[in-house]
Amino acid sequence: MSSRASSPKAPGSWAWPSRVGASQARDVRLAHALLFIAPALWSVNYLVARWAPGVIAPHALALGRWVVAAGVLALFCHREIAAKRQFIRGEALHFLILGALGMWVCGAFVYIGGRSTAAVNIGLLYAASPVLIALFSAIWLRERFGVLQGLGVALALAGVLHVLVRGQWGRLAEVRLNPGDLWIAVAVVCWTAYSLLLRAWPSAFSPVARLTLVACGGIVVLLPFTLWEAWFWLPSELSWRSAGLVLAAALIPGAAAYGAYSIMQRTLGAARVSVVLYLGPLYSALIGWAVLGERIEPFHALGALMILPGIWLSSRH
């Protein structure tokens, strides 16, 4: 029996459970708020991917993104990492694997695939990820995922498909595979694995400290591929534009979005959190309207009317 259970209660100790309950309630409220904030942060990658070709090579962008992101994150957690450094060796392989999946494949591969495939293909392939995460979370992680949550995923999936085909469902029959689709498909599978392993593997570190160390693992994996890319394929030139893209990718869809995702996963579980990917097309449309002058169409509104309730249903406990 633990010392806490066997020791006599101190005066006022009855308030401890209520404090724990209040803290957990705050965590849940924060996680639910991040469900709608994190996809907006990730959608900045939409602009980065549009502007990167001809400015910076895919691996160079991914490496620069996570070098900067790791440095920024370390400002907030370096004391914790130093205090718990004895745990790093035991989790080092986890950091490398998660870094390879989340920072290398889900970074550079998407930038490479985006050079030779259509945006609708990327969206259709990524639409499979929340379904895969929900399925394997229930099978492997034994997360509770009932009928209500399943209906939420289905409704959100229908909404995102409606946006991707621009309200014309016959366009699904016109989709053609491109060379870049294989890169995107590998990224989707690896994002599913990243999400599941992030939940399945326990860690001695807080979400921010753990993300910092995972980013360092990603840097180790990315470095040799970036050097190969620069030497044999696409050399990158240092410029204000390339530096700006790296900085934007590092701070917003990098440190901020991945940090939010880690916090949400810890609180809500992999299956419920995965559905936030379906907000991506809506936020991308808003960013395209605000920054690129693209139009907001009626199919965006109808898609939102399906996606938003779907996310609400899927995140219910």
Quickly state the pLDDT bin for 219 (edges 50, 70, 90): very high
Tokens of 177: 């595979």
Quickly state the pLDDT bin for 66 (edges 50, 70, 90): very high
Whether 102 has a pLDDT exceeding 50, the answer reads yes
- In the DSSP assignment, the letter for residue 297 is -
The full DSSP string for 60-109 is HHHHHHHHHHHHHHHHHHHHHHHHTGGGHHHHHHHHHHHHIIIIIIIIII
Q: What is the Cα–Cα distance from 103 to 97, expressed in whole angstroms?
A: 10
SS3 content of the chain, % helix, strand, coil (to 5): 80, 0, 20
Other Cβ atoms less than 10 A from the Cβ of 74: the count is 17
More confident residue, 120 or 130: 130
Whether 4 has a pLDDT exceeding 80, the answer reads no
- The Cα angle at residue 154 between residues 149 and 157, in degrees rounded to 5: 125
Please tell me the predicted confidence (pLDDT) of residue 7: 42
Whether 63 has a pLDDT exceeding 60, the answer reads yes
Minimum mean pLDDT range among 98-107, 170-179, 182-191:
170-179
Q: What is the Cα–Cα distance from 298 to 301, expressed in whole angstroms?
A: 5
Report the predicted TM-score, pTM, of the whole model to 2 decimal places. 0.82
Please tell me the predicted confidence (pLDDT) of residue 45: 82
Whether 17 has a pLDDT exceeding 60, the answer reads no
Report the mean per-residue pLDDT for the chain: 85
For 232-260, what is each residue's pLDDT tens digit?
888 888 899 999 999 999 999 999 999 99
Other Cβ atoms less than 10 A from the Cβ of 115: the count is 14
CA proximity to 116, closest of 182, 39, 25: 182
Please tell me the predicted confidence (pLDDT) of residue 60: 96
Quickly state the pLDDT bin for 19 (edges 50, 70, 90): low
- The Cα angle at residue 186 between residues 234 and 309, in degrees rounded to 5: 120
What's the distance, Cα to Cα, between the start and end of the chain in Å? 31
Instruction: Give the CA count within 13 Å in the CB-facing half-sphere of 198.
Output: 35
